[in-house]
Amino acid sequence: MTTNELLNRLKYQLKQLEQEVLQHDANLPAGQRKMMQDVERFNNELFVQEGAQLKPCIDQLSKSVAQLQQLINAKRSPYTIVSSCEKIQDRFSAVRRALSTTNINLKSLEQQKRTRRAHAIKRGAKTHQQSGFSWIASNVMQNSHQLYEELNKHLNWAKIIEQKIENLQSSLEYCHSADKIRLQNEILAQHSRLGKCRQATSYIEDRIQLFERPFKGQNR
């Protein structure tokens, strides 16, 4: 096979591979692209590329084939041309392998995510039990919707307690001296309840923030 025949064959293979890659990239849902956005799938000597989409590899392969044509036109040594061809073939093989392993990579990432989430839930449950707020159901800590419901519940309780304190203080001004101590104790008790309610509110708000950014930067 002459060098020109070899070059034409590589160009034909590149065209075929490009169609497969374009179809592969087009079929990737946005969620899968995001999941793999930081994944390095190739040795840097083969491609500079991250993520699920493989079109950048085709662009780099096209440049390699164009460089090979320049070597042939310049009548460089057979060793240099063969070496360039071998590198191009290695890149072809790497892209084909990547095409066939995308689903495997995704399943591996999903498993890692499930494992991390299970560990995070386990750690969160342990921390919750030690937090002093174990009277809030543990399952609430694992669901953002329930966390927001719990937050609204505590905010409403705080308003009710604040209103109750205000009413008691108004009553204190006009009550009989014999009832003052009882009302003062009741006001103190309500302030204590309000303090705990506000602490719980802050705790739930912190849990919401942790829940909404659980695995940022952990896709590598």
DSSP state of 139: G
Shared domain check, 104 and 9: yes
pTM value is: 0.55
d(Cα 98, Cα 108) in Å, to the nearest integer? 14
Shared domain check, 92 and 62: yes
Q: pLDDT tens, position by position, for the chain (220 residues)?
A: 688 888 889 999 999 999 999 999 999 998 888 888 888 888 888 998 888 899 999 999 999 999 999 999 998 998 999 899 999 999 999 999 999 999 888 888 888 877 777 776 676 666 666 666 765 766 666 677 788 888 898 999 999 999 999 999 888 888 877 788 888 999 999 999 999 899 889 888 888 887 766 544 444 3
Instruction: Count other C-beta atoms under 10 Å from residue 159's C-beta.
Output: 12
d(Cα 25, Cα 95) in Å, to the nearest integer? 12
Shared domain check, 80 and 26: yes
Local structure of 43: helix, strand or coil? coil
Please tell me the total count of domains within the chain.
2
Which domain-ending residue is among 125, 151, 175? Answer: 125
Half-sphere exposure of 84 (CA within 13 A, CB side): 22
Q: In which domain, by residue range, is 145 found?
A: 131-212
d(Cα 127, Cα 26) in Å, to the nearest integer? 43
Please check whether residue 204 lies inside any domain of the structure.
yes
